Structure 1
Amino acid sequence: MDYFDQYTFTAKERFLRYVTVDTQSDPASATCPSTAKQLNLARILADELHQMGITDAAVDGNGYVYATIPSNTTKNVPVICFCSHMDTSPDCSGAGVVPIVHANYQGNDLVLPDDPAVVIRKSEHPDLPHQLGNDLITASGRTLLGADNKAGLAEIMDAANFLVSHPAVKHGTIRLLFTPDEEIGRGVNLVNLERLGADYAYTVDGETLGSLEDETFSADGAVLAITGVSAHPGFAKGRMESAIKIASAIVANLPVEKLSPESTEGEQGFIHPVSISGSVEEATIEFILRDFATEGLAAHRRLLEAIADDVMRHFPNSSYQLRVTEQYRNMKEILRNHPHVAAHAVTAIERAGLIPRPQRIRGGTDGSRLSFMGLPCPNIFAGEHAFHGKQEWISVQDMEYAVKTIVHLAEVWEENA
């Protein structure tokens, strides 16, 4: 008998609650969490875990939620952690989210009522044709939805509820971790791995149904600081060297047909300017460098330096400094040494009745950082789509498949102990 035949899933109801809590993170803030409002959701999650009977659920001083589902087996099973993040992207408002359930989707374009100009078109969302008959959830057109990553939160919480209420399903110790500030690259900066006490982990933050991601970009950030020569514009001939124009020329000389987000896909990396600011005397360009091969980041840096050097030949009295900092590395570099972690996830996805879809992430997750912190951590699907914008959507049925996958994954680890 299928474990879930008589089970009433709670992921949908949890998700509809969670998305109404504004948890947008703020990259300009130096605190952790970067916004105090993330603590509102953290406390809700901890309270709901207590209501399930998970008595050690707690929010720490940095806004992280820790909890434990105790082992119910006599076997010595590695401790597994399931992790999702509470914050939503700064790219689009997460305040006043009004979730809408579109029951029994029939393949139509979805016009969002609060802004009819926001239309989720089947022709623009490749996964929509696979959702016929499912119940889709969107926002109302004024905000993002927050499926990234409140879907993962709801799914882990539902799986925890299932495991607590179904002791016949054997599992080892399961740790739950909900993090702040993932969207601004700080999701695991202050995680207490000793307190977590896990051997392996899985983030639940992926897109397409059945997907398993064990490879990410390697990522660096780069800041190019330009010092120009200021002069009164009425008397500037032969003297002024505008840092604004130098910065503009550097950006204009970046590759367009390759090494650009607009022209790359698959395994291709890129150099991407994300902000530019300044004055005649000083200007700054911030970049992100991405490549699946970590050594490719050095090549991107050399190209950026070569472009800057070439531009600076025309401004002999000006100068620049390039500072590159590591952001995260391709989790595959760690996970290849622990192949059973992804293999168990493949088995769990199959047991949930799905076809596993191994994929690489053209981005990063908390799992990238956790893997290099000593906690190997691939990413499994949550079902979120079109994240960071007003067209974000998710399927209730995909969420329920994610719950099943999490439960089966706990079971697979116990069986293989």
Structure 2
Amino acid sequence: MEKLLPRFLEYVVVDTQSDPYSKTTPSTEKQLKLAKKLVSELHQIGMQEVSIDQNGYIMATLPSNTDKKVPTIGFIAHMDTTPDFTGKNVKPKVIKDYDGGNIVLNEKKNIVLSPEEFEDLLQYKGQTLITTDGTTLLGADDKAGVAEIITAMEYLLTHPEIKHGKIRVAFTPDEEIGKGAHKFDVEKFGAEWAYTVDGSQIGELEYENFNAASAAIKIKGKSVHPGYAKGKMVNAIGLANEFLSLLPPHEIPEKTSGIEGFFHVYKITGDVESAEIELIVRDHDLEHFEARKNLLSDIEDKLNTKYGDYVSLVIEEQYRNMREKVEPVFHIVEIAEEAMESLGIEPLIKPIRGGTDGSQLSFMGLPCPNIFAGGHNFHGRYEYVPLQSMEKAVQVIVKICELTAIQIR
């Protein structure tokens, strides 16, 4: 366990930001720098069948050490960090014995991590926190998960008295851009089920997530001298504004929680001649999800009927709610729940307001709930992770391996 912190600190300084506009896999070459490091490390700790394919997917095996016939299970984490915020030149800070007060991340820029704004901090008074320096994200999403899985495998290798079946691990690229499972070889992985180690605070255990789609709205305009524009000009910016005005104003990320869905507009570009809106659609309920997509199509039709053929909508499916694939094999959630409880961790079972590789993998034939990696405030400068939560995640992984073998008769 003493290697967990230095291992994590080594990972986060490697820039692995993915690129949603890239056509390659991995989407950025720099992800392979960490991938090659992980392959070497897996060999060093004694893992077998270590491989990396042409797309940057890493797999490895911890062989069974029991004569019992035990299901092969897996653990998965992703190597990339979000394109939403810079992951270049990460300078992690280690705060020992956190006193419950403000943490000055960057004195020069007056960037402060405060429990007044992020009250979850108070849960970790007296613990060791790893934070950013205020200028980048940290990358605990999901390099904490990567470090925890490798540390757990190393622990099992050095403690053969803990009996377990065959364990498979995998590290994927491009999860943050919704492509982490696109080229995952489920057959090669060969597990009956797996767990993504990609959740947030300690205790999180999740087996349902958003249904998700992206939408691109392209709008053509017609530029005419504004002094003589009446009945002639079609302002693409005005049409873009009208399109957005027809979306429900309270169904946005900043006004929703729990299982409430939303539309999230994250990019608008344009001028009089052309404009483009990029947004995502999210909802846990499949019927509501379909209704949201239909609303976008209805708005497209309404504006084209009103003004002419100026608006073009393209919707792309991203992932679906894994609940329908996990519930038939619900014992895999119960094993993780029992593992946490046996370690004095209160399981926090709740829907993910997002997605993981596991959501897509579940529909590819690999049921895959999500367990905590320990971090908070992902995708920004205020990201942090308590070391003790990471240590507990390692213990949960080990315990899941042990319980899977114990419970098989």
After TM superposition, the score normalised by the length of structure 1 is 0.94
**Aligned-pair distance for 1:133?**
1.0
Whether 1:32 and 2:6 are equivalent positions in the alignment is no
Give, in whole Å, the separation in 1 of the partners of 2:181 and 2:362.
Answer: 11
Secondary structure at the counterpart of residue 135 of structure 2: coil
Which residue number in structure 1 is paired with residue 174 of structure 2? 181
Give, in whole Å, the separation in 2 of the partners of 1:20 and 1:212.
Answer: 28
- Aligned residue among 301, 305, 310 for 2:293: 301
**Aligned-pair distance for 1:82?**
0.3
Residues 72-114 of structure 1, C-alpha deviation per residue, up to 9 Å, x if partnerless? 1111111111000001111111111111110001101111136
CA contact (8 A) 1:25 1:35 kept: yes
CA contact (8 A) 1:231 1:239 kept: yes
Which residue number in structure 2 is paired with residue 271 of structure 1? 263
Give, in whole Å, the separation in 2 of the partners of 1:342 and 1:143.
Answer: 34
Give, in whole Å, the separation in 2 of the partners of 1:18 and 1:224.
Answer: 38
Which residue number in structure 2 is paired with residue 357 of structure 1? 348
Whether 1:407 and 2:392 are equivalent positions in the alignment is no
- Structure 1 residue runs of 5 or longer lacking an equivalent are 1-7
CA contact (8 A) 1:267 1:292 kept: yes
- Aligned residue among 14, 26, 46 for 1:21: 14
- Aligned residue among 147, 156, 163 for 2:156: 163
Whether 1:215 and 2:219 are equivalent positions in the alignment is no
Instruction: Provide the alpha-carbon RMSD of the alignment.
Output: 1.6
**Aligned-pair distance for 1:251?**
1.4
Whether 1:202 and 2:195 are equivalent positions in the alignment is yes
CA contact (8 A) 2:300 2:313 kept: no
Secondary structure at the counterpart of residue 33 of structure 2: helix
**Aligned-pair distance for 1:278?**
3.3
Residues 42-92 of structure 1, C-alpha deviation per residue, up to 9 Å, x if partnerless? 111111111111142222111111100001111111111100000111111
Which residue number in structure 2 is paired with residue 46 of structure 1? 39
Greater mean deviation of Cα atoms: 281-290 or 232-241: 232-241
**2:77 maps to amino acid:** S
**2:151 maps to amino acid:** D
Whether 1:122 and 2:77 are equivalent positions in the alignment is no
Give, in whole Å, the separation in 1 of the partners of 2:352 and 2:29.
Answer: 29
Give, in whole Å, the separation in 2 of the partners of 1:53 and 1:162.
Answer: 11
Which residue number in structure 1 is paired with residue 363 of structure 2? 372
Give, in whole Å, the separation in 1 of the partners of 2:260 and 2:279.
Answer: 17
CA contact (8 A) 2:48 2:62 kept: no
Secondary structure at the counterpart of residue 256 of structure 1: coil
**Aligned-pair distance for 1:130?**
1.1
Which residue number in structure 2 is paired with residue 67 of structure 1? 60
CA contact (8 A) 2:48 2:63 kept: no
- Aligned residue among 302, 324, 327 for 2:318: 327
CA contact (8 A) 1:115 1:141 kept: no
Which residue number in structure 2 is paired with residue 291 of structure 1? 283
Residues 237-256 of structure 1 aligned to structure 2 (within 5 Å):
237-256=230-249
Greater mean deviation of Cα atoms: 80-89 or 57-66: 57-66
**Aligned-pair distance for 1:123?**
1.9
Regions of 4+ moved over 4 Å? 308-313
Secondary structure at the counterpart of residue 257 of structure 2: coil
Residues 364-407 of structure 1, C-alpha deviation per residue, up to 9 Å, x if partnerless? 01010000111000000000100100110001111000000000
**1:286 maps to amino acid:** E
**Aligned-pair distance for 1:316?**
2.5
CA contact (8 A) 2:303 2:311 kept: no
After TM superposition, the score normalised by the length of structure 2 is 0.96
**1:376 maps to amino acid:** P
CA contact (8 A) 1:109 1:122 kept: yes
**Aligned-pair distance for 1:351?**
1.8
Figure out how many residues of one structure are paired with residues of the other and give that number: 408
Identity %: 49
Give, in whole Å, the separation in 2 of the partners of 1:55 and 1:292.
Answer: 39
Greater mean deviation of Cα atoms: 77-86 or 189-198: 189-198
Give, in whole Å, the separation in 2 of the partners of 1:107 and 1:311.
Answer: 53
CA contact (8 A) 2:106 2:112 kept: no
Give, in whole Å, the separation in 2 of the partners of 1:145 and 1:359.
Answer: 24
Give, in whole Å, the separation in 2 of the partners of 1:84 and 1:55.
Answer: 18
Which residue number in structure 2 is paired with residue 110 of structure 1? 103
Give, in whole Å, the separation in 1 of the partners of 2:197 and 2:318.
Answer: 21
Whether 1:134 and 2:134 are equivalent positions in the alignment is no
